[in-house]
Amino acid sequence: MSSIHHRTATVDGYEIFYREAGPADAPAIVLLHGYPTSSFMFRELIPLLADDYHVIAPDHLGFGHSDAPRVGEFTYTFDALAELTSGLLDQLGLDRYALYVQDYGAPIGWRLALKHPERISALVTQNGNGYEDGFVESFWTDVWAYGANPGPDTEPAVRAALSVDAIRWQYVHGVPDPSLVSPDTWEHDFALVSREGNDEVQLALFRDYQNNRPLYPLLHEFLRTSEVPVLAVWGRNDEIFGPAGARAFARDAKDAEVHLVNGGHFLLESHLDVVAGYLRGFLGRVLG
C-alpha cells in the first residue's frame, strides 16, 4: 500500500495543506472536498487509488490544516479559493488530471475546468452540484435569502448550519445504517469551524454561493464541447443536492456514467467500497 504524505505549499503567501500519494508519473487525480470538512474526508479513499494514480487532496483556505486568515484579511469567495487551488496545482507541475469533486469542491473544480479545459482528463462528481436540478429547495431557501439580503433577519438560519447537530445531520441523514458513520467525522469538522473567526469565513462563503449558479451554463457547454468523461456517483438520499442533480449530467456529458447509491451527502463514510469500485472502474476505462 502506498504511503500518504502530508505536505504544505505556499501559494500567494498562504500555506495550503495537501495530502499526496501514489507514483508521481502515474495519471493524476485531484480530490476536492466540501463543506464543512477537509481532505480528511478522503483519508480512506486515497489508499484505494494510490497504487495506480498520483493523488492530490488539498484543504481549501479556511478549512482543515490550511491557513485560515480572518475575513478582514482575505476575501473569501469561490473564485478566490479556485485561484489558490490552481496555484497549488501549478506548483506541483500538474498539467493533466482528473477531478473528483464533492459539495464545495464542485464550484472550485468547475472553475479549474473552465480556466484550463485542456488539463481535465475526467470529471467525477460525488454529490457535487452542477445543475439547478440538484438544489433541494427546503435546504437552499435560507441560503438564497441570506445571499440576497445578508443581515440579522437572514443570518440566524444559515448560522445554524455551523452547529454540531447540523453538521452531524449532513453525515447521517439518508444513511440507512447511521452506525457506519464515525462520530469522529462531525466532531472533527465542528472543532475546525468553531475556531475563533472561522464562523465569519463560513458565512462569507454562504453569501457567495449564489455566484456559482451563473457558471452552470458555461460548465454545460464545456461538457458538450470537450466530451470529457464524466462519472456521477451520488448518495440518492441527499437532501442538500438531490439525485436529479446527478442525472442532469447525462444531458450534456457524452455517455455520462451515473450511479445513485442508497446513502447520503457524505457517501464515502458509509459506502466507501461502492464508490471506490465505481471510481476505479471508471478511471481504468477512461485513463487506461
- Residues 93, 284, 39: CA angle, nearest 5 degrees: 50
Contact assessment for residue 69 and residue 14, using Cβ atoms and an 8 Å cutoff: yes
Q: Is 265 a catalytic residue?
A: yes
The position carrying cell 468553531 is 194
Supply 220's cell numbers: 454545460
Three-state secondary structure call for residue 164: helix
Supply 155's cell numbers: 443570518
Three-state secondary structure call for residue 173: coil
Question: Of 165, 181, 164, which Cα lies nearest the Cα of 237?
Answer: 181
Q: How far apart are CA 231 and CA 126, in angstroms?
A: 8
Catalytic residue selected from 33, 54, 60, 265 = 265
Q: Is the Cα dihedral 87, 188, 155, 106 positive or negative? A: positive
Instruction: Give catalytic residues, as residue numbers.
Output: 265
